[in-house]
């Protein structure tokens, strides 16, 4: 039960403040939450690149405006990976929180920061999960 105490998530607060507020002051361009959503897509692209490197898969370079560049299913695979990660993490958190609330008598307020953090992560990833735009 020590894992679910709100004080254990104190490390996340500076990260959220840094990524959502301080970046706006550092950049000269307008910095909205769209950049956060683009970072999610970028992180899954990096994961796919790491997977390709470990498996020895080499792709030919194609200009970004070329139709050949979008014939593969990398984008679809990245979205599937994002869906799996989101379902596993949110499902695991919800199951653990429900278990501790109902069966252990753990105080409900201790899990609020964990739920808020997971809802924030879902908000950041929701464009990639639910929208059909392609890059």
> Domain extents for the chain?
73-134
Residue 111 has pLDDT above 80, yes or no: no
Nearest in space to 110 (alpha carbons), one of 99, 95, 120, 97: 97
For the chain, give the mean pLDDT. Answer: 77
> What is the pLDDT, as a whole number, of residue 135?
47
> What is the pLDDT, as a whole number, of residue 71?
60
Residue 17 phi, psi (nearest 5)? -65, -45
Residue 116 has pLDDT above 50, yes or no: yes
| d(C-alpha 37, C-alpha 125), whole Å | 6
Which band of pLDDT confidence, cut at 50, 70 and 90, is reported for residue 88? very high
pLDDT, average across residues 99-113:
78
b/e map 43-67, b = 16+ CB within 10 Å: ebeeeeeeeeeeeeeeeeeeeeeee
């Amino acid at each position: 039960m020590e894992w679910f105490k709100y004080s254990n998530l104190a490390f996340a607060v500076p990260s959220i403040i840094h990524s959502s507020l301080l970046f706006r002051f550092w950049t000269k361009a307008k910095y909205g939450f769209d950049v956060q959503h683009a970072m999610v897509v970028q992180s899954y692209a990096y994961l796919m690149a790491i997977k390709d490197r470990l498996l020895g898969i080499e792709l030919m370079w194609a200009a970004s405006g070329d139709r050949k560049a979008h014939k593969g299913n990398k984008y679809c695979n990245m979205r599937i990976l994002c869906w799996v990660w989101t379902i596993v993490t949110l499902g695991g958190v919800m199951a653990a929180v429900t278990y501790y609330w109902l069966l252990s008598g753990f105080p409900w307020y201790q899990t609020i920061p964990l739920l808020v953090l997971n809802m924030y992560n879902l908000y950041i990833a929701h464009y990639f999960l639910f929208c059909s735009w392609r890059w």
